[in-house]
């Protein structure tokens, strides 16, 4: 048997990033083993311990849906078949961003509302069924096996549940997808190699999430209500209709102003949001569980692409590379885009870590800038507010006000928020002109723009600042 026929790729972590990496590795490596320390519960209704964020609302951005479909054709239909509702991102959801209720319009941008456990379960089933792929649970990775003074990774050491001691798992390629708690930086340090610089934006975010039995007709035919947190209050949330005729409702607060995890406190926090829609929806709805809290202290970006020395045959992706403030809903989409990038880098075998990490860094750049820009709009968030950030922030405030009246501007915004278009699309002369026109009209009318919107497009509060879910 030739070496190529026996080559073995090992992926650390069987969550979204790891599974999608395994998906593309399986096209190139005859054996792909995905190791996870968790019990990979086959019940799609319950979140598992290793992915505690699975209990919370998980928006799959439009670009992520596209990328997943490219990786796993037919996935969307399968999710719909398993009960996930699908619709139009702007036409079937109520968006409140930066204090403005966006004008509703068909955007042509799809939205698919699956719970995180259903999504992961469906992806795991499809990837596990691929020839050569073995997903192994209850197996914790505790270090790398190396050669050549640590400059080549030759496998990992694992500890299997119920067995004493560690054992080696040899590999021709190792991909770290163990999430934000990845121990690769520590293991590199212990091997005497440089560790990646870490950039952090501390947001002090708290979530609390509860599911309800959907109340037929209570929110019309809408699939989502999205009051994004914005300064200075920083309270927001999301309601999504998910499989099983349920609503998942996540409340969010920044800088320590966290939603309580008791029923009365949860309800009161929902009532305190700047728009009544979410509270009105859950008032009288039947809860199916107790609120579940989650704390997310900071977005973290690790600069692997800048390392001068890094072992061969080791790649890092997913949240292990960059973990974003989840309010923007980007993590799974970025993981899917990184898997597509990995597919390209596998044309060289083994792929070159530096080139791959540079590619991943380019994928991360735009979503990371959105998080940094959006979070720095909160005066309590520490960080350097460059002239560019302040300018973009001021422009976005005007753009969001315009989106309350102008469907074309609203569509441009949701396309960028969905990572379908890059942020530059918001500066397109056509959009910039509409924003400027709207601001002029607002000034002439003595309002900051959008405040004269009739009926359901009631503005929440005039503001020039921005908040979560904004590019």
Report the interface residues with ligand FAD, using CB under 6 A.
12-18, 35-38, 50-51, 53, 56-59, 140-141, 177-179, 181, 207, 294, 296, 318-320, 326, 329-333, 335
Q: Which is nearer to ligand FAD, 260 or 462 (CB)?
A: 260
Compute the least distance from the CB of residue 15 to ligand FAD, in Å. 3
Q: Could you give the C-alpha distances from 430 to 245, 424, 438, in angstroms and in order? A: 40, 12, 13
Q: Which residues of 50-60 are buried (b: 16+ CB within 10 A; e: fewer)?
A: bbebbbbbbbb
Q: Name which of 57 and 402 has its Cβ closer to ligand FAD.
A: 57
Long-range Cβ pairs for the range 423-426 (8 Å, 24+): 423/366, 423/369, 423/370, 423/471, 426/395, 426/396, 426/399, 426/471
Q: Output the smallest distance, CB 320 to ligand FAD, in A.
A: 6
Structure tokens belonging to residue 276: 């009544």
**Residue written as tokens 């026929």?**
5
Q: Which is nearer to ligand FAD, 311 or 397 (CB)?
A: 311
Beta strands 246-253 and 235-242 are antiparallel
* Beta carbons of 201 and 383 less than 8 angstroms apart: yes
Residues 240 and 248 sit within 8 Å (Cβ to Cβ): yes
Q: By C-alpha distance, which of 275, 195, 193 is closest to 233? A: 275
Question: In the complex with ligand FAD, which residue's Cβ is closer, 181 or 422?
Answer: 181
Q: In angstroms, what is the minimal distance from the CB of 440 to ligand FAD?
A: 36
Name the closest residue to ligand FAD (Cβ): 331
What are the DSSP calls for 392-407, one per residue? HHHHHHHHHHHHTT-H
Q: In the complex with ligand FAD, which residue's Cβ is closer, 333 or 465?
A: 333
Beta carbon of residue 333, minimum distance to ligand FAD (angstroms, whole number): 5
DSSP state of 312: B
Least separation in angstroms between residue 212's CB and ligand FAD is: 18
Query: At closest approach, how far in Å is the CB of 206 from ligand FAD?
Result: 10
Nearest residue (CB) to ligand FAD, 50 versus 397: 50
Closer by beta carbon to ligand FAD, 135 or else 402: 135
429's tokens: 């002369």
Report how far Cα 149 is from the mean position of its chain's Cα atoms. 36
The nearer residue to ligand FAD, 267 or 319, going by C-beta atoms, is: 319
Nearer to ligand FAD, 53 or 400 (CB): 53
Q: How many angstroms separate the Cα of 73 from the Cα of each of 121, 123, 273, 331?
A: 16, 11, 39, 20
Q: Which is nearer to ligand FAD, 161 or 286 (CB)?
A: 161
Q: How far is residue 173's CA from residue 317's CA, in Å, rounded to a whole number?
A: 13
Least distance between ligand FAD and beta carbon 217 (Å): 26
Dist CA 51 CA 117 (whole Å): 9
Q: Which is nearer to ligand FAD, 58 or 398 (CB)?
A: 58
Mind spelling out the 3-state secondary structure of 355-367?
HHHHHHHHHHHHH
Least distance from ligand FAD to the Cβ atom of residue 432, Å = 29
Q: Which two tokens stand for residue 117?
A: 């456990």
Compute the residue count for the chain: 471
CB of 182 to ligand FAD, least distance (A): 7
* Omega prior to 274 cis, within 30 of 0: no
Instruction: Give min distance, CB of 430 to ligand FAD, in A.
Output: 29
CB 277, min distance to ligand FAD, A: 19
């Amino acid at each position: 048997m030739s070496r190529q026929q026996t080559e073995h790729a090992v992926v650390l972590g069987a969550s979204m990033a790891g599974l999608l990496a395994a998906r593309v590795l399986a096209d190139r490596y005859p054996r792909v083993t995905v190791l996870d320390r968790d019990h990979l519960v086959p019940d799609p209704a319950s979140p598992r311990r290793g992915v505690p964020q699975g209990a919370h609302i998980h928006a799959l951005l439009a670009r992520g849906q596209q990328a997943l479909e490219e990786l796993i054709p037919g996935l969307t239909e399968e999710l719909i078949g398993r009960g996930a509702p699908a619709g139009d991102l702007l036409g079937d959801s109520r968006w409140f961003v930066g204090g403005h209720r966006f004008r509703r319009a068909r955007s042509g941008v799809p939205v698919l509302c699956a719970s995180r456990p259903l999504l992961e379960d469906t992806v795991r089933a499809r990837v596990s069924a691929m020839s050569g792929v073995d997903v192994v649970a209850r197996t914790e990775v505790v270090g790398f096996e190396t050669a050549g003074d640590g400059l080549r990774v030759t496998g990992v050491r694992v500890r299997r549940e119920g067995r004493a001691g560690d054992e080696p798992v040899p590999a021709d390629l190792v991909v770290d997808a163990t999430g934000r708690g990845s121990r690769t930086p520590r293991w590199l340090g212990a091997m005497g190699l440089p560790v990646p610089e870490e950039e952090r934006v501390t947001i002090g975010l708290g979530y609390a999430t509860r599911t309800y039995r959907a109340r037929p007709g209570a929110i019309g035919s809408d699939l989502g209500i999205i009051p994004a947190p914005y300064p200075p209050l920083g309270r927001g949330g999301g309601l999504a209709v998910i499989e099983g005729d349920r609503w998942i409702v996540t409340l969010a607060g920044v800088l320590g102003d966290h939603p309580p995890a008791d029923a009365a406190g949860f309800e009161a926090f929902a009532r305190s949001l700047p728009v009544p829609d979410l509270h009105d929806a859950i008032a009288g709805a039947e809860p199916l569980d107790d609120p579940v809290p989650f704390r997310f202290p900071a977005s973290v970006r690790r600069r692997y692409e800048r390392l001068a020395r890094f072992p061969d045959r080791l790649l890092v992706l997913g949240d292990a590379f960059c973990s974003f403030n989840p309010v923007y809903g980007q993590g799974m989409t970025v993981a899917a885009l990184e898997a597509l990038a990995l597919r390209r880098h596998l044309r060289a075998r083994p792929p070159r870590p530096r080139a791959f990490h540079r590619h991943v860094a380019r994928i991360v750049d735009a979503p990371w800038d959105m998080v940094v820009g959006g979070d720095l709009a909160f005066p309590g968030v520490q960080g350097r507010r460059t002239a560019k950030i302040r300018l973009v922030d001021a422009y976005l405030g005007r753009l969001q006000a315009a989106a309350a009246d102008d469907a074309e501007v609203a569509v441009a915004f949701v396309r960028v928020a969905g990572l379908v278009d890059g942020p530059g699309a918001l500066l397109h002369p056509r959009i910039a002109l509409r924003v400027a026109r709207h601001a002029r009209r607002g000034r002439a009318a003595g309002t900051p723009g959008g405040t004269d919107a009739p009926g359901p497009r009631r503005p929440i509060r005039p503001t020039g600042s921005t908040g979560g879910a904004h590019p």
